[in-house]
Amino acid sequence: MSNRNKRGWQVISRTYCYVYVRAIMAIVLAGSVIPAMSEDLQGNRAELIRSLLPAVVNISVRKDVAAARGAEVATASDRGAIKAYVGSGFIIDPSGLLVTNYHVVEDAFEISVTLSDGTELPGTMLHASRQADLAIVQIKTDHALKPVQWGDSNKLQVGDQVFAIGDPLGIGTSVSAGIVSGLHRDVQDSPYDNYIQTDAAINHGNSGGPLFDMEGHVVGVNTALVSPTDSSAGLGLAIPADSVRFVVERLIEYGWVNPGWMGVKVQQVTREMAAAMGSQQPEGSVVSWVLPDSPAQKAGIAIGDIIIRYADYAPPDERALLRRIAHTPVGDTVQVALLHDGIQRMLPVTIESWPRSQWDKRDAPMTPERPKLTIPPDLGLTLSAVPTSERAQLGLEDGLSGVLIISVLGGSDAAERGMLDGDVILRVQDRPITTPTDVQEAITAVRSDHRPFVMMLVLPKARKTPGPTWVTLRLPPGH
């Protein structure tokens, strides 16, 4: 090898060495940058989550379990027929409007909302939709609250990262993360099912809480879990935000959902149906019933017609078609594409408002009866829990709690001592009470001590002087 060649080799060697060293340095630097980027992302995510916590609330309710239909998680302190349940919700308006699941507050005669700072406030259910399993609850504060920001659930894709915030199992506000595991899930809960499936942990108590995307926007309301046990198996379901917003905005504006109505019953065309009709592939939704004097009948839609397009939309199934009809503004005329015996035609259908009386039968919230208890007949008192909406009217402010007297038996010792319906019992002996069962148990304890009288601290309906009064009732023996 010549000296020139040797010099050339040396140069090439230095060049490769230089490139090699740079590559090594790049790898080393990348190794230090990647963890730093990861830490930044985790820090940003933690900061995002912390910023969202004030918009999420914990909801506890009291229900008469003999009549309750929508139960979440019972707390360990439950006694008798009146039980406490927990759920979640989130603020949608600074004035104190909250969204939660209807089944969280269904049949509740008392609603209590706990904010992220620990403040506990009474809540009142303003409006609700049983079909959509959504409710709007009002709380009143002396300051504006932080609302959530809505996201676009239509843009969600399987694999997108999401996280849930709520009060699982009543242990307090918790965060769980996961991905969108599936879309458009049908659990046959309603004709409009369109759930988001997620593996973010959803447990009892999460119901009504928000499902967030990674930008901190609400893309769903956590509603249900599918599991062979009572806890999360990695299969949670959330109502998509676009459906939630539609229902909530309608409830606020009209007091009910006021959905668009065409007046047809439809079924998804199956392969068997398609074969029976001489078609190669199943397509559209077949009409199985047309209501008299409905928009569909007026437009000429008939039983056996197959709806394949609604305006410029080709519904993938009958649930999607029904949702699109419900979301159509009342009064709009929509072009509907139909197939019958292989012949396609277009019909204009003018959407009407769903007849209110018919809709209310399937959707209006049920009014819970106040749980009542007639304590031993020798006392002559019929009691109920105090409805949240009547607390201020009855003078139960500043944290006071008690039990409402519904009726007083004429001629009873209670009547003789001036007790009236509308009075509120605050204590029995030295025991604060909140349910009729509490009163019963306190009286039983006094009887077991063989005492002839029981003391009750009563807040009278008609007060000559401010504040409550002690009333002593005779306890006849033998009861």
What is the distance, to the nearest Å, from the Cα of residue 198 to the centroid of all Cα atoms in its chain?
A: 16
Query: CA–CA separation, 296 vs 336, rounded Å?
Result: 10
Q: In this structure, which amino acid lies at residue 394? A: L
- Burial profile 298-336: b = 16 or more Cβ within 10 angstroms, e = fewer: ebebeeebbbbbbeeeebebbbbbbbebbebeeeeebeb
Contact 319, 186 (CB under 8 A): yes
Cβ neighbours for 456, distance < 8 A, ≥ 6 positions apart: 425, 427, 428, 470, 471, 472, 473
Cβ neighbours for 398, distance < 8 A, ≥ 6 positions apart: none
Q: What is the DSSP string of 27-66?
A: HHHHHHHHHHHHHHHHHHHHHHHHHHGGGEEEEEEEEETT
Q: How far is CA 214 from CA 48, 136, 157, in A?
A: 9, 25, 13
The interaxial angle of helices 318-327 and 241-254, nearest 10 deg, is: 40
The catalytically annotated residue of 107, 133, 213, 242 is: 133
| 127 is annotated as an active-site residue | no
| Pairing mode, strands 424-428 and 453-459 | antiparallel
**What is the 8-class DSSP label of residue 301?**
-
Query: CA–CA separation, 68 vs 203, rounded Å?
Result: 20
- Burial profile 128-163: b = 16 or more Cβ within 10 angstroms, e = fewer: bbbbbbbbbbbbeeeeebebbebbebeebeeeeebb
Contact 265, 288 (CB under 8 A): yes
Max Cα-Cα span within the chain = 130
The catalytically annotated residue of 103, 153, 305, 317 is: 103
What is the distance, to the nearest Å, from the Cα of residue 179 to the centroid of all Cα atoms in its chain?
A: 20
What is the distance, to the nearest Å, from the Cα of residue 153 to the centroid of all Cα atoms in its chain?
A: 17
Q: What is the DSSP string of 295-339?
A: HHHHHT--TT-EEEEETTB--SSHHHHHHHHHHSPTT-EEEEEEE
| 207 is annotated as an active-site residue | yes
User: Is 125 exposed, middle or buried, given 0-12, 13-18 or 19+ CB atoms closer than 10 A?
Assistant: buried
| 77 is annotated as an active-site residue | no
Q: In this structure, which amino acid lies at residue 423? A: D
Contact 237, 101 (CB under 8 A): no
The catalytically annotated residue of 88, 129, 207, 294 is: 207
Contact 301, 321 (CB under 8 A): no
Task: Return the active site residues.
Answer: 103, 133, 207
